[in-house]
A and B are shown apart, each in its own frame.
Chain A
Amino acid sequence: MAASMDDFEPRVVLPGDSLMGHIPGELHGKMTLGPGLRQDETKIFSTKAGILKRKNPHTFWIDCHQKRYVPAKGDKVLGVVTQKAGDVFRVDIGGQSQAILSYLAFEGATKRNRPNVQVGDVVYAKLLVANRDMEPELVCIDSSGRSQGLGVVGSDGFMFRCTLGLVRRLLLKDCPMLKFLGEKISYEIAIGMNGRIWVRAKSIHTTIAVVTALTNCEFMSEDDMKKMLRKLVAAGFHDSRPKPN
């Protein structure tokens, strides 16, 4: 089994490719299929063009450069409140239909104590319900009623759109970009799985610099990222605070 695990190489697949040839035989029928894969009777097909990847021992998925977001349960997303409708807010999260967010789904909210959310506010929320037959539903609390960083994000930050590939890349465990940036510049960031990123730094100039750095890093190698950040720091975008003793 160990030998066949090493055989696996990430490769480019197109919609309709049968993957039976690329997956070790002993795994057939007992693997976990991720995004972009489809099972038809006993065969497995790809439904998107992308790179077939594997997480040991038996999880497979396709990584693709997609722009459109399809809501998935548990994803943390950034949305814009578009409407207040009775007990719920309608939130645009970039999916096929607007998501609903109950006013009770905020930390400390009660029937009397409504959260202060206005139309146009940006919220960072988690998807509680997301399936193809129902309206997506958001919450800004975890199961114990804590906000855990979710909720309305400040109006002094900046939200921009990017590809879903960039978001996934930034959220990888070993992505160096956010760490490099944080060493030189202090900033706040909220990354939504729906291809939206919200940034707030000390000044508008610095915020713009961070946004530019993030949008540029999608197709960069680690060395290029470092180079770009060095330029950014040389241009004066860094914290002039004294180093802690």
Chain B
Amino acid sequence: MTSNPENNSSVEIRPIGSLQSCISKPDGSAVFTQGDTSVMAAVYGPGDVKPNKALMDKATVTVTYKPKIGISGVREKALERMIRNTCETVLLTTLFPRSSVDIIVQEIQDAGALLACSINAACLAMINAGIPMKCTVAASCCMMGKDEELIMDPTKEQTKDAECVLTSAIDSSAHSLIASSMQGSCSVEQYHKLMSVCQKACDKVFEFYREAMERTLSKP
């Protein structure tokens, strides 16, 4: 690993920004931006659940993904699934049996790394709502170009000539992998390279969460 030159260089991701409690009705909400990519997430819960969806031992987590234009199709369903499974892993769902946690993710602008941005927005909204969580989660995107160069947090333009694009979500306590989604193909060594870069980028997101919370909580 240490022989990898990419590991030694600092990981550059596009500037991150956030806005919390941006909508008044939900229990928690946040806008998360990474470069030009921007996603808004809202969280309701723990709340009432339909009897046929209630689980006896834990809360039911549902994610609704709203595309910028048009109605949601298969692509959106796949994103929903990814976000839902990632969020459920970090939530302490067993504390609220027979209840629901609803997460709504609204795409505002897609300029690459949309899934990573959506997961980060959902996590920040859950932190904002104060739902008990095991730990926080951050996701980041990394791509490998034609001549094996790694590009961190690529834009939509850059991903057009990518050999493979990896999005991975990592938890804050053990820094272990929660979810990973890959388009394209690469060798095992290349995968490890991509993973280690993603991990560093996720650390930056964790730092950002802390800064963002310190800012909002220091308000008096």
Residues of A within 8 A of B131 (CB): 48, 68
Closest approach, in angstroms, between the C-beta of B56 and any C-beta of chain A? 10
Q: Which of B21, B96, B134, B219 contacts A47 (CB 8 A)?
A: B134
Residues of B near A96 (CB, < 8 A) are: 45-49, 96, 98-100
Q: How far is the CA of A220 from the CA of B220 in the complex (A)?
A: 8
Are A16 and B130 in contact, with the CB atoms below 8 A? no
Contacts of B96 in A (CB 8 A): 70, 96, 132
Which residues of B sit under 8 angstroms from A64, Cβ to Cβ?
130, 217
Q: A15–B173 Cα gap in the complex (Å)?
A: 9
Whether A48 contacts B132 by the Cβ 8 Å rule is yes
**Could you tell me how many residues of chain B have their Cβ less than 8 Å away from some Cβ of chain A?**
38
How many angstroms between the C-alpha atoms of A18 and B218 in the bound complex? 21
Provide the bound-state CA to CA distance between A45 and B136, in Å: 12
Q: Is the CB of A68 within 8 A of B47?
A: yes
B217 near A47 with CB under 8 A, answer no
Question: What is the bound-complex CA distance between A67 and B171, given in angstroms?
Answer: 25
- Pick from A18, A68, A132: contact of B130, CB below 8 A: A68
Decide if A215 is an interface residue (CB 8 Å cutoff): no
Contact pattern, A 45-76, Cβ under 8 Å of B = 1, otherwise 0: 10111110000000000001111101000000
Quick check: is A14 within 8 A (CB to CB) of the other chain? Answer: yes
- What are the interface flags for B185-220 relative to A under an 8 Å C-beta threshold, 1 for contact and 0 otherwise? 000000000000000000000000110011011111
On whether the beta carbons of A15 and B136 are closer than 8 Å, the reply is yes
B220 touches A221 (CB 8 A): yes
Closest to B28 in A: A67
Pair B46/A47 contact, Cβ less than 8 Å: no
A161 vs chain B, min Cβ distance (A): 10
Residues of B within 8 A of A12 (CB): 210, 213-214, 217-218
**When chains A and B are docked, how far (Å) is the Cα of A220 from the Cα of B136?**
30
B127 is contacted by which of A14, A38, A68, A221 (Cβ under 8 Å)?
A14
**Contact code string B78-102 (vs A, CB < 8 Å = 1, else 0):** 0000000000001010011111100
CB of A219 within 8 Å of the partner chain: yes
**Least CB separation from A70: chain B residue:** B46
Q: Is the CB of B92 within 8 A of A47?
A: yes
Interface residue? A133 (CB, 8 A): yes
Question: In the assembled complex, how far is the CB of residue B49 from the closest CB belonging to chain A, in whole angstroms?
Answer: 8
Q: Which residue of B lies closest to A220 (CB)?
A: B220
* CB of A203 within 8 Å of the partner chain: no
User: Chain A 25-43 against B: per-residue CB contact (8 Å), 1 yes, 0 no?
Assistant: 0000000000010100000
Interface string of A95-110 (1 = CB under 8 A from B): 0110000000000000
Complex CA–CA separation, A65 to B171 (angstroms): 23
Assess A51 versus B135: contact at CB under 8 Å? Given A67-B28, A68-B45, A70-B46: no
User: Which of B98, B171, B219, B220 meets A16, CB within 8 Å?
Assistant: B171
> In the assembly, what is the distance between CA of A50 and CA of B216, in Å?
10
Q: List 15 interface pairs A-B (beta carbons < 8 Å), by A numbering.
A: A12-B213, A14-B172, A15-B127, A15-B133, A15-B135, A16-B173, A45-B134, A47-B92, A48-B131, A51-B217, A66-B130, A68-B129, A219-B219, A219-B220, A221-B220
Q: Identify the B interface with A (CB < 8 A).
A: 21, 27-28, 45-49, 90, 92, 95-100, 127-136, 171-173, 209-210, 213-214, 216-220
Q: A12-B210, A15-B132 are in contact. List 16 more A-B contacts (CB 8 A).
A: A14-B136, A14-B172, A15-B134, A16-B133, A16-B171, A45-B134, A45-B173, A47-B134, A48-B130, A49-B213, A65-B21, A68-B27, A68-B45, A68-B131, A70-B46, A219-B220
